[in-house]
Structure formats: C-alpha cells, structure tokens
Amino acid sequence: MTKIDLNQIALFLRVVNAGSFTAAAKLLALPTSSVSRGVARLEHELGARLLQRTTRTFQLTDAGKQFYEQAEAALGALERATTTIAEGAEEVRGRVRLSLPSDGVDAFMAETLAEFQRRYPEVRLELQFTNRHVDLVQEGFDLALRAGKLADSSLLSRKITDTELALFAAPAYLERRGVPRTLAELAEHDCVVFERGRSWVLEGPRGTETLHPEGVLLVDSMTFVSFAVGAGFGIGLVPLVAAVGEQLGRQRPSLVRVLPEYAQSGAALSLVWPPSPFVPRRVTLLRDHLVERLRGRYVACTKKLAELDAPHLVQPVPSAPRAEVDGAPPRANAAPSKSARRRARRT
C-alpha cells in the first residue's frame, strides 16, 4: 500500500480551492515553485496526473476530480474529529455572521439554516443578503457564500459546485404556444431575460451558439426570472438548482426544460472565510453543514433534471404558425406568434 504524505494532499486541496498555484503559495507563505513541486510529488506517488497545467492556470483531470472529492471529504472528517477532541465537551454557542447573495437564496437555504439552529440552539445566526462582495475582516463576517471568480486570494475557500443554466418554461405556456424544437424557433417565443445576461451563450451539439433574445420581460433579479418563467411569462434561462430544486418531490413540475441539449455554464459557487490561526467551532460546524447540504442539493437536482424535459411532459404542438406553402393555410392549433400579435395590435 502506497504511503502518501498528508501534507502533500492538503497542499493539493489548497491549490484547487485557491484556483492557482500562485494564490495557494501566497496563502501558505511559500514559494510558488515549492507548491508546484509538492503537487508533482503527490502525482508521482499516486502514479496519476491530477492537474492539467497551462501557462497561467490548470484544469482537474478526471483522476484529479475523483481524488479531490474523496480527499477533501476525508481530510474534512479528520479536521472535525481533531476539533472535537481538542475542544472536548465545549458547548457550541455564540454568534456567526454570514453573508449571502440576494439572488439564489430560497426556502432550501432557510431550511438548511433552521436545521443547523435546531442542532445547535445556542448559536445565534446573523445573515446579510447582498450581491456586494463584503469585506469579511473589516465588516466582521465569519463566512460568505459567493458566486463567481474569487478575486480576494487572501480568503480561504471551499468550492461547492459549478453552476449551470438551461432553458425552462411553464407547462401551461408550452401547451399554449408549443415546444420549440430548434434555437431558431425561440425567436417566435416570448422570453424572460436577466438584465445582466442579455446574451445567451449556449453550449450544444454545434458547439457554442450565442442568442440575443428580445425579452417580453427584462428583470434585474435572477430569482424573479425563475418566478416569472413559472408564472407563464415565457421561456427563460434559469439556474438548474432554481428550476429543479424547488420542485423536488412534486408530482407535477411547475417548470419543464426545453431544448435540453443546450445549456450555459454559470459561475462557481464557493464558501469563503478569512484566514485565522483559530476558527471557532461554531463557524467550522456551520461551514461544513452548508457545504454538505448544498452539494447534496446539487446532486439531487442533477438526478431529477432528466425527468423535466418538455418532450416527456407536454404534447409537442407547433411552436409557431408556419408560412403558407402552395396555398395551404397555417395549422389551426398553432398559437399566434409574437410578431403576429404585434401586427394585430397595430391594426
């Protein structure tokens, strides 16, 4: 059995969580070359390449992803065991300040925090909802949930997942207007558009394709995009966890996925905290609880996603009327297109 230095494993995890060798080296107060050599020694001991390096960054290989997930879970359990023994029977109590993004916070987050509070009733939680990146040290926060690239490399972090968005609509809307079968047919549909994401950059069978939908509704809240799509405004680009998470366990979904072969990569979701020689147990317990529950939710949503494809849930009526061919009239059961409705309003 190969004996692996736990320090090398911890070094590898720090590099992945920091996002680069340079950022990890700064956090550890080590030369970047030492960090790189440490990861290389771990790869040599394992007999597998964990990171595919480029000039400025890296990508996890398949072996690296598998090792990262298992190693982080194992070292996390070891850290919790060590903390438990070191602190003995110390009661978990005190205040924890948590910064959360305004968008993306829903009933699941409330249930997750309520579950933690029931387990540790002497812990007082203080939450602030903002899309601003707060200064954790200056403003006195213990933890922050953040989406996107972590600009402040001095913070410690634990990545939860990479997010993804896809096209969704309400069943009632699709029954009324039809299910689009190609990206081109989206031009004949009403769309709900997020103000800071007016271009839809979709990965599909033909690679990357960019759309510029003319929204029937333009909003600056991603949470409201999900609600508006569910209310039947039209088709929208919705985070998978928002579209799927709220309907886990429902018999009939409020949202169904259209053009399931297309998706848009979203921002990485991470939990961050300021570096400190001592992190209170109440903070580490909440941190681990949030990571475990949020990761579990994304796994459950991924499994549920295949059940929400529109072709399985909605009769595929035509998505828009077709032009007359050889004198044949348009199909009677097609709903009026957006352009047709506008012409009708002008007459």
pLDDT of residue 221: 85
Is 98 in contact with 142 (CB distance < 8 Å)?
yes
Q: What sign has the CA pseudo-torsion 89, 94, 97, 102? A: positive
pLDDT of residue 208: 93
pLDDT of residue 328: 40
How many CA within 13 A on the CB side of residue 190? 22
pLDDT of residue 287: 94
pLDDT of residue 18: 81
pLDDT of residue 86: 55
pLDDT of residue 336: 45
If we measure between CA atoms, which residue out of 168, 167, 146 comes closest to residue 156?
146
- Domains of the chain (ranges; CATH) run 1-90 (1.10.10.10), 163-266+305-313 (3.40.190.290)
pLDDT of residue 108: 83
Mean pLDDT by 10 residues, the chain (347 residues): 77 86 81 88 89 81 90 80 59 90 78 93 92 85 86 78 90 92 92 88 92 88 88 91 64 76 88 83 93 86 67 46 40 42 40
Taking the C-alpha atoms of residue 194 and residue 236, their distance in angstroms, rounded to an integer, is 8
pLDDT of residue 57: 78
- Confidence (pTM): 0.61
If we measure between CA atoms, which residue out of 310, 294, 216 comes closest to residue 262?
310
The phi, psi pair for 330, rounded to 5°, reads: -60, 160
